[in-house]
Amino acid sequence: MYRFQNPQSKSLILSQKGAALTKRGWFIVCLLIVLSALVISGCSGGGGSTSDDDSLPGGGGGGNDTVTYEEGFDIGDTDPLDMDDPDAQLEDDFQDCEEFSFPEENWVSPVEISDGEDTVEYDLTTGQERIIPVEQLLPETGIPVTEPEPVPLGTENRQIIGEDDRKKITDTTVYPFCTACKIYSRFPNGKVYACSGTVINNKYVITAGYTVYSHDDGGWISSVTVVPALNGTYKPYGSYAGVQCRTFVGWTQYKDYKYGMALITVDKNIGDKTGWLGYGYWSSINGWNAHGCNYPGDKDNGRGMYYCYKKMYDISGNSMLFRYTMDDYPGSGGGGIYWKDSEDRRFVTGVVSHTVNDDPNYNYACKINENKFNSIKSWIDSGQ
């Protein structure tokens, strides 16, 4: 306890203490500024992203435009394999395979593809194909199958729009990044191609139609290997074999990107390790924030996970595609594009699909419309 002899000495002591506190306060402020700068730097580049950002304006979404959706599942702390575990090592024949480039589009009149949203199932264990009319998958009230007017598509590779904004994910075991998958598709002609995908339920991975069916390589895949959260040659959760895949007649028979979406069923519950993202349909996503996490072939030999987010936009007169300003490249194809709501719930709204020759400011996605949503939900609800 201090004993003050006179007011003058008391003022002097208080002044000295105040100066010390001021110096300490400034030191703390400066330290906080430095730490904040380091955190921001880590999230925006350099050391790699640690969370999916959402600081762009006007990205809320939802509201009255919501039609229907299924929620995702954040598993929390994951349990990755040790790096020296043999099951955590990427197979040699996958380490330098080709990234899937995009097949030539065969545009047809909407009248000719009235069956475009019919489901095509392919059992990889038996080699049997089955077509299910879309009417059998829709609710009893029925949803009219409408065909939008096509937009002219090109066959050029994914493009970088302006500055390359993709950020490397250094810890791929963090949700939601751990739901991003590297997919290796082997076709009847012996070729193996690499694409991306996203876990959207316990044993289901959404991806592009060309991941499971290639018109130039013999049709249906002969086998497919799904590797969630791949990081270089390290497989934190091992790999999963596809046992069944589904897409749409509009892709397998007509080679039409409006139907270029697929679902792979894997042999084990992948979501027990990674959790999964939700998925849904909204009548308009115009100006919403778009997030993407996938495996572009121009980075790290296609074995590095990269994240980007910008904006996505409706296409007038076309409810089956949307365009976005994120950067992509071969290998990104099939990766889920999602948005994040105010409760941090994440919903896949489409998959990386293609580019358009005369529209260099955007990349294009195959959108989950209402009929696609109902098809995907019924596929998952079947448990197969």
Segment 289-306 mean pLDDT:
94
| Highest averaged pLDDT of the listed ranges 7-16, 214-223, 327-336 | 214-223
Q: Check pLDDT > 50 for residue 37.
A: no
**pLDDT, averaged across the chain:** 80
Q: Which has the minimum average pLDDT: 79-88, 233-242, 297-306, 312-321? A: 312-321
Peptide bond into 176 cis (omega under 30): yes
Segment 270-285 mean pLDDT:
95
Give the pLDDT band (50/70/90) at residue 43: very low
The whole-angstrom separation of Cα 377 and Cα 279 is 9
pLDDT for 103 equals: 53
pLDDT for 54 equals: 61
Return the structure tokens found at 144: 């009219």
Q: Which has the minimum average pLDDT: 39-53, 126-140, 174-188, 220-234? A: 39-53
Q: Which residue has the tokens 């203490």?
A: 17
Contact (Cβ atoms closer than 8 angstroms) between residue 190 and residue 168: no
pLDDT for 48 equals: 58
Q: Which of 88, 102, 323 is nearest to 195 (CA)?
A: 102
Q: Check pLDDT > 60 for residue 178.
A: yes
Return the structure tokens found at 348: 């896949």
Segment 163-177 mean pLDDT:
94
Q: Which of 273, 224, 217, 270 is nearest to 245 (CA)?
A: 224
The CATH fold of domain 63-381:
Thrombin, subunit H (2.40.10)
Return the structure tokens found at 226: 């799904």
Domain residue ranges in the chain: 63-381
Give the pLDDT band (50/70/90) at residue 205: very high
Give the pLDDT band (50/70/90) at residue 9: very low
Q: For 240-253, what is each residue's pLDDT tens digit?
A: 999 999 999 999 99
Q: For 11-24, what is each residue's pLDDT tens digit?
A: 333 344 444 445 55
How many CB atoms are closer than 10 A to CB 248? Answer: 29
Contacting residues for 72 by C-beta, under 8 A, at least 6 apart = 176, 179, 200, 275, 276, 277, 278, 345, 346, 347
The whole-angstrom separation of Cα 218 and Cα 329 is 24
DSSP assignment of 291-358 equals: EEEE--TTSGGGTS-EEEEEEEEEETTEEEEEEE-----TT-TT-EEEEE-TTS-EEEEEEEEE--TT
Return the structure tokens found at 216: 């130039």
How far the first Cα of the chain sits from its last, in Å, is 76
Q: Which of 135, 99, 105 is nearest to 250 (CA)?
A: 105
